[in-house]
């Protein structure tokens, strides 16, 4: 760096009126890699206008505007002699200027080196393949990892390595389901490393999704389901499902506690922890009925002693526990009948259930005629209208179109007499 550039920078630094001008010139230089673009100070002060006049030799008034290349040219006419804008800026800010392209190249190289380093420390096939995909912008977890690596490269490297070690440990210990905190402690020595709010936990979810051939989970239900499908119990206590009438097996025999509740026609609320110990579930009639709403479920269960088939309640979006129970029934070939509300959420859940059990599950009182019987005066919200689109191309499309036409929700509570009749009389 020349003495002329240092002297020029010192001159500018001694005069506060140049501070914002120099900041804007630095932005332009980083962006273009050369003196280019227009510096704009729409709210320029009199001091800043006077500062610009000191370089250009002509008056300025708000809004202050000039081209960066003209500023460099004007510097040559000052007493400091031939100087480059880059050298003046570097001396002024006491830093080496790198353009955006140069900084991006540095980040690219650092990111690639991190992936190479972590790849060298794992021989797990799923991890190796996922790390390779992370070199592409469209891969699962790329944006998250790239953003965090720019903030804290060492933390990103450590979290990425811990996520890979966690999957490696999981695949080498396949004796049965493992709690998330136990897996985390065994693989990383920290039981909270895989918590969903940590970078390691988020990367681990992306890795599990890649391994399972799925998109990264978008909500808590999808997250817990992804864990469960990979043999991990995350929230095995608060994930619940309620039912009455099912025959639930532990080993080859019916579980004695659930047998007593079944014979007494009691409601049985089960956690995922309870369900993880079961080996099977069946219905004596070969059918099971499912409702979304807890109040509808409990109202119907007042006549549980007269039911010819079991009744299950998902309490809205099916939890992992609910899906586990339904999977046990599906494995036994049980026919499923599902009933939910007539709005975007209710119909989209029904569509998801039909897609999960295409050969076994049928909508139950969810036809347009049923909607006409339970239509309320409650208008749909924007998000509810949007969810109706998920029914396109399914057997629920006619109902979704009816709901869209009237723009009113329909509720299960108004269909209780029909549901009750099906459970007690129609088989």
C-alpha span between 384 and 375 (Å, rounded): 15
| Three-state SS letters, 296-361 | HHHHHHHHHHHCCCCEEECCCCCCHHHHHHHHHHHHCCCEEEEECCECHHHHHHHHHHHHHCCCCE
Among the residue ranges 76-90, 165-179, 264-278, the one predicted with the least confidence is 165-179
Domain coordinates in residue numbering, the chain: 3-97, 101-233, 240-424
Burial of 247-276, coded b for 16+ CB within 10 Å and e otherwise, reads bbbeeeebbeebeebbeeeeebebbbbbbe
3-state secondary structure of 63: coil
C-alpha span between 7 and 83 (Å, rounded): 10
193 has pLDDT over 70: yes
Tokens of 233: 């119990």
Share of the chain above pLDDT 90, in %: 82
**Alpha-helix residue ranges (DSSP H) falling in 134-277:** 142-151, 153-172, 180-188, 199-212, 220-229, 256-263, 272-275
Sequence-separated (6 or more) residues with CB below 8 Å from residue 186? 169, 173
Residue with tokens 């639930």: 248
CB atoms within 10 A of CB 393: 8
Could you report the per-residue pLDDT of 319-344, keeping only the tens digit for each? 889 999 999 999 999 999 999 999 99
Could you report the per-residue pLDDT of 215-273, keeping only the tens digit for each? 999 888 788 889 988 988 876 677 899 999 999 999 999 999 999 999 999 999 999 88
Determine the CATH number of domain 240-424. 3.40.1360.10
CB atoms within 10 A of CB 144: 16
Give the pLDDT mean for 367-376: 96
3-state secondary structure of 100: helix
pLDDT at 248: 97
């Amino acid at each position: 760096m020349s003495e002329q550039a240092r002297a020029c920078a010192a001159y500018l630094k001694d005069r506060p009126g140049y501070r914002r001008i120099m900041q804007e010139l630095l932005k332009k230089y980083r962006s273009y890699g050369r003196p280019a673009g227009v510096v704009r100070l729409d709210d320029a002060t009199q001091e800043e206008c006077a500062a610009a006049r000191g370089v250009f030799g002509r008056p300025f008034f708000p809004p202050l505007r000039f081209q960066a290349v003209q500023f460099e040219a004007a510097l040559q006419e000052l007493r400091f002699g031939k100087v480059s804008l880059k050298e003046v800026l570097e001396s002024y800010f006491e830093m080496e200027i790198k353009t955006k392209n140069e900084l991006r190249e540095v980040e690219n190289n650092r990111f690639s080196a991190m992936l190479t380093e972590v790849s060298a420390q794992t021989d797990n096939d799923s991890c190796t393949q996922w790390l390779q995909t992370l070199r592409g912008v469209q891969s699962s977890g790329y944006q998250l990892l790239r953003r965090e690596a720019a903030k804290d490269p060492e933390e990103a490297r450590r979290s990425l390595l811990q996520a890979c070690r966690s999957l490696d440990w999981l695949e080498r210990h396949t004796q049965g389901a493992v709690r998330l905190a136990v897996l985390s402690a065994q693989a990383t020595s920290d039981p909270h490393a895989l918590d969903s709010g940590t970078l390691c936990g988020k990367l681990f979810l992306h890795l599990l999704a890649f391994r399972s051939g799925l998109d990264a989970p978008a909500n808590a239900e999808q997250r817990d389901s992804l864990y469960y499908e990979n043999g991990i119990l995350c929230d095995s206590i608060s994930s619940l499902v309620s039912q009455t009438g099912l025959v639930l097996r532990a080993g080859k025999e019916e579980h004695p506690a659930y047998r007593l509740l079944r014979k007494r026609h009691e409601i049985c609320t089960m956690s995922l922890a309870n369900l993880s110990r079961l080996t099977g579930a069946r219905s004596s009639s070969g059918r099971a009925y499912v409702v979304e709403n807890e109040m509808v479920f409990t109202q119907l269960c007042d006549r549980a002693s007269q039911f010819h088939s079991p009744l299950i309640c998902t309490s809205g979006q099916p939890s992992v526990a609910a899906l586990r129970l339904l999977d046990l029934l599906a494995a036994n070939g049980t026919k499923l009948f599902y009933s939910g509300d007539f709005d975007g959420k209710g119909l989209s859940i029904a569509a998801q259930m039909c897609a999960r059990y295409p050969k076994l599950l049928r909508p139950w009182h969810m036809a347009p005629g049923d909607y006409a019987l339970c239509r309320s005066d409650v208008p749909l919200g924007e998000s509810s209208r949007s969810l109706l689109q998920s029914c396109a191309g399914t057997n629920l499309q006619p109902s979704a179109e009816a709901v869209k036409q009237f723009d009113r929700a329909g509720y299960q509570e108004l269909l209780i007499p029909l549901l009750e009749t099906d459970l007690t009389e129609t088989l």
